Structure 1
Amino acid sequence: MSQTQHFDQSSNNNALSNREETYFSGRFSVAPMIDWTDRHCRYFLRLISRHAQLYTEMVTTGAILQGRGDYLLFNQAEHPLVLQLGGSNPHALAQCAKLAEQRGYDAINLNVGCPSDRVQNGRFGACLMAEPQLVADCVKAMQDEVVIPITVKTRIGIDELDSYTFLTTFVDALVAVGCSDLIVHARKAWLQGLSPKENRQIPELNYERVYQLKRDYPALHIAINGGINTIEECVQHLEHVDGVMLGRAAYQNPYLLAEVDRVLFDDETPVLSREQVVMAMVPYIEQHLADGGRLAQVTRHMLGLFQGLPGARRWRRYLSEHAHQTGANVDVLLNALAQVGEPIARDH
């Protein structure tokens, strides 16, 4: 592990450049995913890409305003970072947006795309597509409180309300209050009868409808989401829209983000190798453990780092079997790295 011993900390500093050296862009982002894109995941992903826009998990207004935990906590290294809010009360959303701006978030995103029963029962998520004026009121209330961008993530329709006219009526309400940034999941959502997982797979993808939306609303910044798995596909979509959002592909194979800065942002800054990413996580994990955290809370997000390479299965198995054990520390991570074999050469 001689390469480990000579790891250059300056590479870590480059990846975790300060906020002034990054810029806010919706050109490429990693989707908000409940139980996945927590602060540990985002810190890890930021080591791989300087420019990818990262999102929090969806956080409800109730959790922020009445919850006992700090649901706005993040590491400064995560910028550019967007807080995704779930809610439908304009006043509560405005309160949360103001708190988020004070904490340093780069933008706020309103969830109008999640189809789960729990979310519907709270009267937010995809069901709000049926109430475009309420969504517009929510956006306006937040805009009146903050100067950072307010964006909306939505579907192309819900249930039988899936015509292009339905979609444009929804968009028109947002345009009327000055909302200029939309992320559109190119599937409709079935509010009854399908699980959230099934709603990501069964409704047919309709990329052309999102492309048409961009043609009809050229002044809007429109990003596309849904079923996108590679950077090559991102490049193809960017011929039609302004931005691309990857979800599970970016989580399950995180090192595909190593292509993002060079291909999508023309940034030739050398990326960290996979081994260097692991070593850059060591001080972060040590601090997390010192604060009373557990190793598995961080390493669960790193399981896919060596996806597709020899030793990837051994890496996953070792972390999965040992990171949950009492007293597990960074030695588990280093031992898992040793399972991969020879140090991985720089990919770019």
Structure 2
Amino acid sequence: MIATTMLPHARLPFQPPRGRRPPNGGWWRLLCTLVVSVVGGLLLQLLWLPAPLAASEWREVADAPADLAGDSRKPNDQEETLGSNQGAEPSGAGRLASLGLLELQEDTVPWKVVKVLVPLSPQVAKWWIDSEQGEFTIKMKPCSTGGEPHVHLQVWAPKPIDLAGKRVDGLHAIVYLPPGTVLEECHMKWVQVSVDVEPLAGLGPLRALHLSCPVSPRRGANGAGIAGRGGFGGFMALAVFTWLLLPWPMLLLPTIIYSAARPAALGAGLCVARLAAYLRRRRRLWRLTVMGRRKVPIDGAFGADEPCCICFGETSQEEAIIALLPCRHALHLQCYRSWVCTDSYPSRDLICPLCRRRVTAVGKLDGS
């Protein structure tokens, strides 16, 4: 009778079924991190979207620098036409005349726009020259209605001027700006310029308005962000660029680049290796060809009457036989050329297949 003992059931560690590989935890973590980064960038973009430009009031400009775009009226409309006060002019102000401006200089850089403007009317230009700079009161009002951002300018003086038979106390002009201009931060100052364009050429140095405004790529034509101007596509583009500027995607950038560039680097390495092997083979063939053209006559060689050490074939008169110098081992020229061209050739230089000595010349047997 055989006694049996029941052993407790041993628990084996979990093993995945054959044919399946467990999920790669590193890639899953990377994917989750990317998703979280994209969502965080979208939420951050929603918080950063600027509000539309609110209606602003007239503000007085004390001799401060500024950048504005020029007048968009046609030349036929650039004559001074009198009319009633335009916009929200100051209380107690007199009549305003529309002012045509001539752009003398426009320098637009990626984050700033600059313009130098002079009046088209010689009478107004002379009025600005004869008056003192401190007598003028300049008021500026940003406006974004009508699609293109612009600024209303009013130049007031204590002494009125007669234009087209009517007496006016100030001038009004509209300066249009490119999309994305930050209208609230526009500045303006007086500058002195020289004009060689008729009818202002004979007046000498003129007083001009120097206008400058910063440009923000996040603002559209109506003062809203790029997302508001470009719809969903603009919002997604801005969200992607914002996500690229966040710190955590930049930390993952080396891993992403390494994962993407690893196959390309492997392929490039293989191509370089193949190219190097091909160049070494061509170099050996070139050296053998040069030595074959300058064969050295010799009296005898080892193995001249014996089978070739490479193909083990008998020597014949039809096959060319050479002797490698300085070891003087004889073999078939075609067999040696084929061996030199193989990828398994063991040296960079020409060597003898028997003694492995470096070949310095090729000998020619008498009678071969």
Shared fold (TM-score, shorter chain, > 0.5): no
* TM-score of the aligned structures, taking structure 1 as reference length: 0.27
- In our comparison, the structure showing a higher alpha carbon Rg is 2
* TM-score of the aligned structures, taking structure 2 as reference length: 0.26
Structure with the higher helix share, 1 or 2: 1
Structure with the higher strand share, 1 or 2: 2
